[in-house]
Structure 1
Amino acid sequence: MTSLPIWIQVLQALLTPAIAIAVGVIGFLQWRTAHQKVVLDLFERRAQLFEDVLATVEGYFERSDQHVGTETILRLYRTQTKAQFLFGPEIVDLIDAIRSDVIRHNSLSRRNDKLRSGSIELQEYAELSVRINRNIDNLAPACLPYMRMDQRQVRTATDWFSERNKIRLSYADEKQQ
């Protein structure tokens, strides 16, 4: 038998689980930090892609030479390709619509000196400008669900149940209320 007091023996017995719990907490906190870093990096990449689309279209409308149109179309194509990995299909389709409109707008702007007032092409040229701007305006609300950083928000129980209900309803055979 040992000559150690009983309270020391109890502390020795509790030391191993206490160390295991401390290691578990440290491991969880490291995982949480790494997860938040990944989410922040993804947010930054998505924000950069969104800014690239805005800057590209803004640069297209600010300058009006032949090379800007081609450069804009190529930049939008590269951005659309990157968006496939960072966003859902609705964002990719929206960027594609912007790129298609810029292609047509650019081809009409090259013939701008030949366009007569009241011609169909001049009217289409103006409509394309409006449609490009409308699609750019729709881009921010469409990107918003992807830009949320949910892990930083403190959600209430009502928020959690509401989100779970939306997920449940998305799998329903018939839409329920």
Structure 2
Amino acid sequence: MVESKFCKESFVVKTSNVFPPDTNYHGTLFGGKLMGYIDDVASIAATRHSRSAVVTASTDSVDFLHPIHVGSSVCLEAYVTYTGRSSMEVFVKVIAENLISGERNMCAISFLTFVALDENGKPKQVPTVVPQSDEEKMLHQSAKDRAETRKKRKKENEKMAQLFSVALPWEI
């Protein structure tokens, strides 16, 4: 019998200050820095759910909804929303807070897929996930549509990759 776990059992929170070295010349957090934070918290949530090593299989998108300014804090929340046999979909939301005024903004959302690995680096079965809150239920119910979109996008990208040369420019 496959074990089940609640979404909240994989819940991860990461909060960081946004310092000048973390920002671009607009004084806002580098997108790549935020993407690194997103992958980090998502991988912790997936590992917490599967209790095994994991690898990132895909990042659906990172939709930047609001800039994150220097001097703010950035808070990321992540948890597993859906599972396949060895894969896990992880939802990440990013909230920025002006620590002086208290103003908070939803700055980004993202969905990532991770695969759990056994000690030989092969995919291993993961526990099913059980949503409880309204947010968790909504994300769980819409996960199959996102999975189909991922599969379609991957096939399209595989076809496109075949069109491009892997030779170095000077070898063509």
Task: Give the TM interval when normalised to the shorter protein.
Answer: under 0.3
Higher relative contact order (CA 8 A, sep 6+): 2
Larger strand percent: 2
Larger helix percent: 1
Structure of larger gyration radius: 1
